[in-house]
Structures are given as structure tokens and as C-alpha cells.
């Protein structure tokens, strides 16, 4: 099981969106998304990805950096199946909980998120909760069909701790979670993760394979 410590950087809440990537690059370590799981694509189609995480008093900031073949973002409305697009994801739970939360974003920042007991047993975030999640995509917010070729893109998101049911005054010492990059609906699907997911078929909804995220 992999683990890392989240840096506490209260300045994050005061920075302009354009300054966030450089600030996180300077003050946090990149974590690799390097487990290919079910990816049997030729080498030229494999994706390279990493992420960085930091926290303020109110939010968890995640910066995803992705390079890979093809780019797709057809979904613009929150709650859509963004895993079909070029997508990055963060799943988490507290150690004592039976539920987990998934936060999935396509490359233009559209989000699908819920509180879950399983892949099918879920309670989606409210409209107000969706609106509270900040998203800063490097390629803008406009939808487009799949574009072939090698592409590089970033997405920085700021998820309020309230959306994770975490109260700042009583933050846990750690949470469990995993980070992913996928693209189910492109010509060459891909499924890479921070911690490996040891199942025969693609399935990121497996909390038993979460790693430790130390606060």
C-alpha cells in the first residue's frame, strides 16, 4: 500500500487560479499514476500521469498532470458519466467508514461525484456541493469530440472538506483513497492508478485497494 503526507498550505485559498500549478509544483511532490492495471495497449498509446495534493483550512487541492494519446471531453454538465471522456479521479473514505466518495473530472473540469456504498448504491452530490468544487483546466471548459494524437493537459481542483464530510476542527489523522486516470470511451481506453487495483476487469470502485493519505 502506498502512502504520502498532504502538505498544509493555507496560502492556496488566496492565490489566483493561474498561480496554483506553479505554487503546487514548488511546494508539493508529484505522486505517480503508474499502475497500468488492465491496459494492454501498445507502448505508443500508454498514458503518463501524476498528481500533487495539498490542503488549506477549507479545501483539498489536487493538481493532475496527464500526457497521452487522444483527448476527449463531450460532457459539460455535472453528474454526467465523465469517465467516458479523458478523465482523472479521486476516491476517498475515512478508515472507520463503510461509505466512500468519488470525485471524477473530465479534462475540461466537468464533475461526477457521490457518496457511495458501492458502484450502484450512491447518493449524488447536491447542486450546491457541485458548485462549491473549484476546477481549473488548462485546456478550457468547452466540450469537444475525441482528438487523436499526443496531448498534454492539466487539471487543478479544490474540493471543500465539507463535500468529504470532514470538519476542519476535527480532521482525521489520515484518510484512505486512490487516484486514477481513465478514458473508457476513447479509441484506446486506459486505466491507470496510484495504488494498483487487483481485479480481473476494470473497476475503480474498490476501497480495499485504497492507499493511505496522511493529514
pTM: 0.97
Farthest CA pair distance, the chain: 48
Q: How many CB atoms lie within 10 A of CB 140?
A: 11
25, 52 Cβ separation under 8 angstroms: yes
The DSSP letter of residue 28 is S
> pLDDT of the chain along its 215 residues, tens only?
999 999 999 999 999 999 999 999 999 999 999 998 887 666 767 789 999 999 999 999 999 999 999 999 999 999 999 999 999 999 999 999 999 999 999 999 999 999 999 999 999 999 999 999 999 999 999 999 999 999 999 999 999 999 999 987 678 999 999 999 999 999 989 999 999 999 988 899 999 999 999 99
Q: How far apart are the first and last CA of the chain?
A: 17
Domain 3-214 top-level CATH class: mainly beta
Amino acid at each position: 500500500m502506498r502512502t504520502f503526507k498532504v502538505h498544509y498550505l493555507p496560502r492556496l485559498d488566496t492565490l489566483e487560479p493561474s498561480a496554483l500549478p506553479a505554487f503546487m509544483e514548488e511546494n508539493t511532490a508529484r505522486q505517480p499514476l503508474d499502475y497500468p492495471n488492465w491496459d494492454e495497449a501498445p507502448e505508443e498509446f500508454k498514458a503518463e500521469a501524476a498528481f500533487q495534493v495539498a490542503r488549506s483550512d477549507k479545501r483539498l487541492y489536487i493538481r493532475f498532470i496527464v500526457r497521452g494519446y487522444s483527448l476527449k471531453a463531450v460532457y459539460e454538465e455535472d453528474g454526467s458519466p465523465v469517465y467516458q471522456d479523458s478523465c482523472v479521479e479521486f476516491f476517498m473514505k475515512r478508515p472507520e467508514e463503510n461509505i466512500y466518495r468519488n470525485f471524477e473530472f473530465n479534462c475540461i473540469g466537468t464533475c461526477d461525484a457521490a457518496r457511495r456504498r458501492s458502484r450502484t448504491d450512491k447518493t449524488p452530490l447536491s447542486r450546491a456541493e457541485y458548485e462549491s468544487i473549484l476546477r481549473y483546466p488548462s485546456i478550457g471548459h468547452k466540450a469537444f469530440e475525441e482528438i487523436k494524437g499526443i496531448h498534454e493537459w492539466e487539471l487543478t481542483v479544490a474540493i471543500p472538506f465539507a463535500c468529504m464530510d470532514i470538519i476542519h476542527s476535527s480532521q482525521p489523522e489520515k484518510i484512505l483513497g486512490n487516484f486514477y486516470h481513465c478514458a473508457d470511451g476513447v479509441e484506446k481506453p486506459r486505466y491507470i492508478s496510484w495504488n494498483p487495483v487487483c481485479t480481473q476487469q476494470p473497476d475503480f470502485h474498490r476501497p480495499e485497494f485504497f492507499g493511505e493519505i496522511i493529514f
